[in-house]
């Protein structure tokens, strides 16, 4: 009898837990595309939630009214400075759920975007005394373009950088301007000669390759 009572309690608790989980607020999807823009360019917000959602933007964006939104939908906003958009959904049972998208806006002074790719990725390789890897840069507006490519602080490697059919050498103390005016979006290939003490297939290799891209906005872009 005692075992049966315990079993009943477990079944009851499991049913209650299933109901609570089924009633919990949740965010199934929330995205902002593109997430890197020039001032005033449009970003499409897309979401789908369970519960009663609200959306806010910090700082406020002209033309966007914070507050309740539909459980599923899209909205277009045009931030003029870096903005955090928060989606929050609640239900009577359970805790509220929150998700944040940060939209980065490139200002007049430009922005430094590290391009980092792990050597554990499938795109990476090592042979003939050199190591290489590719990275796909997405979620940037077309008007976010390249000003310069330069070494990442503390990296101190020498690179041959390939992008958009062009290539440039990047080494400590060097600033490459060969890609100036090209969109940052697209495929990048970073390759670097092995340094003394490094060997393919050993732990002596770096974990990742990285260069810094200084971005700028096309004059008149997003206006």
Q: What are the boundaries of each domain within the chain? A: 27-105, 111-217
pLDDT tens sequence across 203-217? 999 999 999 999 999
Residue pair 193/130 in contact (Cβ under 8 Å)? The answer is yes
How buried is 45 (Cβ within 10 angstroms: 0-12 exposed, 13-18 middle, 19+ buried)? buried
- Above 90 in pLDDT, residue 200? yes
pTM of the model: 0.79
At 2 the pLDDT is 56
How buried is 83 (Cβ within 10 angstroms: 0-12 exposed, 13-18 middle, 19+ buried)? buried
pLDDT tens sequence across 149-197? 999 999 999 999 999 999 999 999 999 999 999 999 999 999 999 999 9
pLDDT tens sequence across 12-52? 444 444 444 556 899 999 999 999 999 999 999 999 999 99
27-105: what CATH class?
Answer: mainly beta
């Amino acid at each position: 009898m005692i075992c049966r009572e315990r079993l009943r309690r477990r079944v009851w608790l499991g049913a209650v837990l299933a109901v609570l989980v089924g009633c919990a607020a949740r965010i199934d999807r929330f995205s902002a595309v593109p997430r890197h823009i020039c001032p005033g360019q449009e970003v499409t917000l897309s979401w789908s939630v369970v519960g009663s959602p609200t959306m806010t933007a910090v700082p406020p964006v002209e033309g966007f009214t914070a507050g309740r939104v539909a459980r599923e939908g899209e909205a277009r906003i045009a931030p003029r400075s870096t903005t955090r958009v928060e989606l929050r959904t609640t239900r009577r049972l359970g805790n509220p759920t929150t998700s944040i998208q940060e939209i980065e806006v490139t200002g007049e002074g430009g922005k430094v975007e590290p391009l980092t790719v792990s050597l554990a990725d499938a795109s990476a390789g090592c042979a003939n005394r050199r190591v290489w890897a590719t990275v796909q840069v997405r979620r940037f507006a077309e008007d976010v373009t390249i000003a310069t490519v330069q070494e990442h602080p503390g990296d101190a490697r020498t690179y041959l950088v390939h992008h958009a059919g062009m290539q440039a050498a990047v080494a400590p103390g060097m600033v490459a301007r060969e890609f100036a005016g090209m969109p940052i979006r697209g495929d990048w290939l970073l390759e670097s000669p092995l340094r003394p003490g490094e060997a393919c297939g050993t732990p002596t290799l770096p974990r990742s390759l990285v260069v810094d891209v200084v971005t700028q906005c096309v004059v008149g872009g997003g206006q």
